[in-house]
Structure 1
Amino acid sequence: MRTFLAIADLWGLTGEQRLLILGYPSRSTYHKWCKQAREHGDLTLDVDVLTRISTVLGIHRGLGILFPTEQLGVEWLRTPHNAIIFGRRPPIHLATSGSQDGLLTVRRFLASALGGLYMQPNTIDEAFMSYDDAEIVFR
């Protein structure tokens, strides 16, 4: 839970978005979880919440591998994307839709990109210049 809170801060999630990602527990329950996590207390979460947190960790990990800085990863999450699955909306919109499937879809998209499947260009990619053979050096 502490790691989820740190990622939520990094991504700039609102309180409402945090609740949606976690399956919309009551605000009092959410604040109790936060308090327990910050105090390193015992915390029991159900399988749905654990799956959602695990998915957020997977998204964060994928962004960390695909982008050289956390800032670029967050920018990718918040920039409208041309991939059909995102409907020209930012991936964070799908991740914070409240459904576990929305979160998992973003996670699977990143996993596909990590696996080498083509990822449609985004505005971040506009300045990318492909390498030519002269730039490849074998030692």
Structure 2
Amino acid sequence: MATAPKRLLLVEDDAHDARFVMRAFAQVDETIDIVLATDADEAIAQLNHGHFDYVLLDINLPGSDGIELLRRIRRSQATTVTPVIVLTSSSNPADVLHCYTAGANAYVAKPASVAGYRSFADAFIRFWIDSTILPPGMTTRR
């Protein structure tokens, strides 16, 4: 039985990084539907108007930062258990701690190469989509 394509909200204000992520996922699994939000307000609007299976979040955003957005995601009944994976350029231990404390499911430093983005997309799909069991009410496996 075929399942619906997975929907991923990518919250990223840097056009180059967004393109790298989207291209890497398309190369690994073209069935994943990626929606781009470039700031926290746009991300909240997207989350309020549609279902997403996962959120990939950069914490360095204009306006309200990604950590505050993560807190807002966790406070919402509709997204409280949605997996949020922080994908950011910061490897600052304080940022890592703040993200996990705010409810991040994982924290990953942005890759330094196009090949690194593809490796990330492949690992993401293998772990989050193919292996992880999500809470009842959320989609599970492909």
TM-score by length of 2: 0.31
For the pair shown, the structure with the greater C-alpha radius of gyration is 1
TM-score by length of 1: 0.32
Higher strand share: 2
